[in-house]
Amino acid sequence: MNFKEELERRTKEVQEAVFQYLPREEGFPARLAQAVNYNMTAPGKRLRPLLMMEIYRMYGGEGEIVYPFMAAMEMIHTHSLIHDDLPALDNDDYRRGRKTTHKVYGEALAVLCGDALLNYAYETAFLAFSMEEDTKKTARALQILGRKAGIHGMLGGQSVDVMNEKKEMSRQMLDYIYENKTAALIEGSMMIGAVLAGASERETEKMEEAGSCLGLAFQIQDDILDVTGTKEELGKPVHSDEKNKKTTYVTLQGVDQAQKTAEKLTQDAKRLLTGEKDEFLQMLLDYLMIRKK
């Protein structure tokens, strides 16, 4: 398998599935829809919907019921980026190689754009109810989506991160932030893929555990790239953690040890997937540790 070609093909498939749910830019709220689409169509890895699709298919899922959930997860993730970039939080000017939303559309519309995406994500996920007669799997998937995005997941992690900015943090608190701010949506993506395909509760729990390992490894790699990467590679400012005086795995462990921690977590995630016949998924996990953006 040529991994790069296969990754490009599957990412394109994910984009087509996600983009079909984007709002039309028409009527009085056209400017808000433009801001939403400006963010949703920006270059990106589409990692969360990609993982959802791969796990869905790994457990034998067929059909398109996973598509609205893939779109919803990408919308929730994108909403978090828009709000993260606001002056009240990280105050960043660039994201994914282009100007951030508040720089293009103004701060007020950027706030509304993030709000709109978070709500539109659930509007989109609800469409799955009309795609199958047995709605139990859809209902369970929605429970996971809501919890992993909310106060007990991503938003909870973001709140702890914001409230402790420029303060020294313990490893325990940093792990809580990473587990929720970053890993929760990755866990949710893998769990939803499993649930929609009809996987057992134990298999779904295993996907949650694998997503936790992968999410922590992914965030640690982001910490490393903020120190070792370039603005051209990342499409956003580098050294922003240092600028904002953030505690990261790099500040706690140094680059070399942080890299070893990320590699171990990736191997743990791969072990949880051992026995599952998905060569691409295994290669994807390795790729995420050597990425430059």
Q: How many CA atoms are closer than 13 Å to the CA of 131, on its beta-carbon side?
A: 17
Phi, psi of 93 (to 5 degrees): -95, -20
More confident site: 293 or 162: 162
What pLDDT does residue 239 have? 59
Q: Which of 236, 192, 187 is nearest to 215 (CA)?
A: 187
**pTM attached to this predicted model:** 0.93
* Cα 132 off chain centre by: 26
* Reported confidence tier of residue 290, pLDDT bands at 50, 70, 90: confident
**Residue 152, amino acid:** H
pLDDT of residue 257: 95
Report which of residues 199 and 96 the model is more confident about: 199
Domain ranges across the chain: 3-290
How confident is the model over 189-200, as a mean pLDDT? 97
Of residues 68, 64, 79, 65, the one with CA closest to residue 119: 79
Mean pLDDT in residue range 124-145: 96
Q: Are 50 and 21 in contact (CB under 8 A)?
A: no
- Any residues with CB less than 8 A from the CB of 130 and at least 6 apart, and which? none
Mean pLDDT of all residues in the chain? 92
Pick the CATH number of 3-290 from 3.60.15.10, 3.40.50.12240, 3.20.20.70, 1.10.600.10: 1.10.600.10
- Percent of the chain clearing pLDDT 90 (strictly above): 82
Asked if residue 224 has pLDDT above 60, the reply is yes
> Which of the 8 DSSP states describes residue 178?
I
Cα distance between the two ends of the chain: 23
Q: What is the pLDDT of residues 231-273, one digit of tens each?
A: 565 555 555 665 667 889 999 999 999 999 999 999 999 999 8
